[in-house]
Amino acid sequence: MNRIPPSTSSSSETGLVPSPQGWPQPLRWRPPLVTPEEYAELMVGLMRESRLSLNYLMLVLGSCVIATLGLLANSPAVIIGAMIVAPLMLPIRGMAMGALDGNVVLFRTGILSLTVGTGIGVGVSFLLGWWVGLPNWGSEILARTQPNLLDLGVALAAGGIGAFARVRKEIADSLAGVAIAVALMPPVCVIGLGLAHAEWEISLGATLLYSTNLLGIALACMVTFLLMGYAPLHKARSGLVWMFGLVMVLLVPLAASMTQLLYQSRLEWALRTALLNRTITFQRVTLLRSEFNWVVNPPEVVLSVRADEPVTPRQVTLLEEFVAAEVGRPFTLIFQVVQDQEVRREMPAPEEPESDPEVNPTEATLSPRPRGIITPY
């Protein structure tokens, strides 16, 4: 609470040291000064947001049900609606500020609310996934099982904007967009869905994504609050070091996943280029979709194509060797060929004319004549 009131001089507000000529020089950056009233208002607001209340529990429960059903239905619109409702970002901001300023009560309150909210999300999604029992996973579920460095970048940006919007109330309307960008509730629901079907890889991938979002938001909030002058550096140093260390631990699996994503993009581009432009054999083949299996070694690439003629094993071998030389890594290529075939409905047979019993069928067909006329000899 011992904050220095802001000075009336413009140089103190901007953090610039004036030169003898009167022009400000950026010799040393200084954080903006925060009044005791502003500091107290922020702490009271964060404590109120981080508290485990009935409103918080109802929002968590509702957003979890919406997100789980949207994931099972593979509906992006429903999942976006759950992101807006989910309140998980509120206790993360309180936890970050508590760790930054050394406020144990605020830190514990945020941790408790976040733990309870995460547990409710995993439990409800587990029950819904076990009750529905879908045999296959949709693309929306699989998309949240392979996080990479891009997801960490999104979490850092969203956390910084969320903390800044908490300090500047005039931009509080942007919090809905921040909630959509960071997507905390969907990976929690994917964890429960994976546990319901004993798909441990699904749950582990979603756990990594949730941890990435959580730590990225917390670190960005801490840095933003520090730069805004709401915590002195000597008190914030310990919390920042711990949070930065946890984020660095996540960099190892995220970097590995990013490398895999880059290789997958390069491999898919090489295959498309080879099929379309660089091979004569497959120029009449249309690529429908491609799937990658990174569990086996070497990885498998399944290409679903449409072709006029069958694809031979010799052609697959040549293409596999050609693309492997391009990307510099071996892989197994598998073709699923759908042949073009034109099929129409069966046309009814034409009706035959009725035959006259007094007339020879052969004569009636070859030389029809009117009845009653006798052909002369």
pLDDT digits (tens, 9 = 90+) for 54-68: 999 999 999 999 999
pLDDT of 172:
61
Split at pLDDT 50, 70, 90, the class of 2 is very low
Tell me which of 68 and 7 has the higher pLDDT. Answer: 68
Average pLDDT rounded to a whole number, residues 122-150 = 86
Q: To 5 degrees, how large is the angle CA 96–CA 99–CA 104? A: 120
Tell me which of 197 and 10 has the higher pLDDT. Answer: 197
Euclidean distance between CA atoms 201 and 217, whole angstroms = 24
Average pLDDT rounded to a whole number, residues 203-220 = 92
- With beta carbons less than 8 A apart as the criterion, state whether 56 and 48 touch: no
Which range among 10-19, 234-243, 276-285, 331-340 shows the weakest confidence by mean pLDDT? 10-19
- Looking up tokens 């491609």, which residue turns up? 290
- Looking up tokens 């508290």, which residue turns up? 51
Largest CA distance in the chain: 139
pLDDT of 1:
44
pLDDT of 266:
82
- Looking up tokens 């003898």, which residue turns up? 20
Contacts of 233 (CB under 8 A, 6+ apart): 226
Euclidean distance between CA atoms 60 and 124, whole angstroms = 10
Tell me which of 50 and 134 has the higher pLDDT. Answer: 50
The model's pLDDT over 316-364, given as tens digits with 9 standing for 90+, comes to 888 888 788 877 778 888 888 876 666 777 767 666 666 555 555 544 4
Split at pLDDT 50, 70, 90, the class of 217 is very high
pLDDT of 19:
44
Average pLDDT rounded to a whole number, residues 228-232 = 84
- Looking up tokens 């005039």, which residue turns up? 170
Residues of the chain with pLDDT > 90: what percent?
28
- With beta carbons less than 8 A apart as the criterion, state whether 94 and 166 touch: no
Tell me which of 263 and 123 has the higher pLDDT. Answer: 123
Euclidean distance between CA atoms 121 and 130, whole angstroms = 14
pLDDT of 316:
83
pLDDT of 143:
84
Task: Indicate whether 371 pLDDT > 90.
Answer: no
> Mean pLDDT across the chain, nearest whole number?
78
pLDDT of 179:
63
Tell me which of 45 and 292 has the higher pLDDT. Answer: 45
pLDDT of 221:
92
Q: 44 burial class (0-12, 13-18, 19+ CB within 10 angstroms)? A: exposed
Euclidean distance between CA atoms 156 and 225, whole angstroms = 13
pLDDT of 167:
82
pLDDT of 28:
57
- With beta carbons less than 8 A apart as the criterion, state whether 43 and 37 touch: no
The model's pLDDT over 115-127, given as tens digits with 9 standing for 90+, comes to 999 999 999 999 9
pLDDT of 29:
55
The model's pLDDT over 12-39, given as tens digits with 9 standing for 90+, comes to 444 444 444 444 554 455 667 778 888 8
